[in-house]
Amino acid sequence: MKLQELTLRQFLEKTAANQAAPGGGGCAALNAAMGAALTEMVANLTIGRKKYAGVDERMREIAAMMSAQRNRFLEDVDRDAEAYRLVMEAYQLPKERKEEKQLRDHLIQETMKKATAVQMEIAERAFALLQPMQETLMKGNPHAVSDGEVGLMNCRTAILSALSNVRVNLGVIRDELFVAEMTTKCERMEKSTREIDLLRMGGAAHRHPTADL
């Protein structure tokens, strides 16, 4: 059974168990999925209401975007687990003879790079959602502000968590060009993501709700 098909309780129990996956990578993806879902909720609570007719079309676009990404992030929970499984299999290969050691080392490097790429993709796609999430907070139904803020914070956590996983993996990878490229991406995204705090969640926290749900 896929991890995404487990109940919440089953997923948490599996996460807490004495095993490597699901771990931080899968939970980063899950946080991104929750962030997308909450923003989708705010957009849906805005759509079809006369008071927000001016942003109706945009909220429909955002709702569709968040729905698609929510599903992709759920798939990423399993993609991350599979990528990590391949890394573990590489580490478990025999290393007695020179040829075995060379093959093992090569596969460790390749699987680590692939696992790192999965986490970087999660971070990049979550990062791309920050702007529409803030837009939804600014323009969407103010009664759902706190839900949208939690969604934005979940997305922020997903990005920083995925980047943390990337940085850990880079410590093992010897491809200098790959490491340099990933490090640059990490630094750029982390800086911009941490600045979300300074934006006070797009100012939405100071809006005064006047419309009924």
The span from the CA of 81 to the CA of 22, in Å, is 6
CATH architecture for segment(s) 23-201: Up-down Bundle (1.20)
pLDDT tens string 82-121 = 999 999 999 999 999 999 999 999 999 999 999 999 999 9
Half-sphere exposure of 186 (CA within 13 A, CB side): 20
Biggest alpha carbon distance in the chain?
A: 73
**What are the extents of the domains in the chain?**
23-201
pLDDT of 195 reads 87
pLDDT of 207 reads 52
- Identity of the amino acid at 182: M
Q: Are 144 and 37 in contact (CB under 8 A)?
A: no
pLDDT of 200 reads 52
pLDDT of 201 reads 53
pLDDT of 1 reads 84
The span from the CA of 112 to the CA of 94, in Å, is 18
pTM of the model: 0.90
Q: Which residues contact 36 (CB under 8 A, 6 or more apart)?
A: 66, 67, 69, 70, 73, 129, 151, 155
CA distances from 71 to 67, 82, 128, 174 (A): 6, 17, 16, 33
Which segments of the chain have a pLDDT < 70? 197-213
- For the record, the structure tokens of 161 come out as 């968590």
Report the chain's terminal Cα–Cα distance, integer Å: 38
pLDDT tens string 7-28 = 999 999 999 998 888 899 999 9
CA distances from 41 to 38, 60, 134, 147, 148 (A): 5, 11, 14, 8, 8
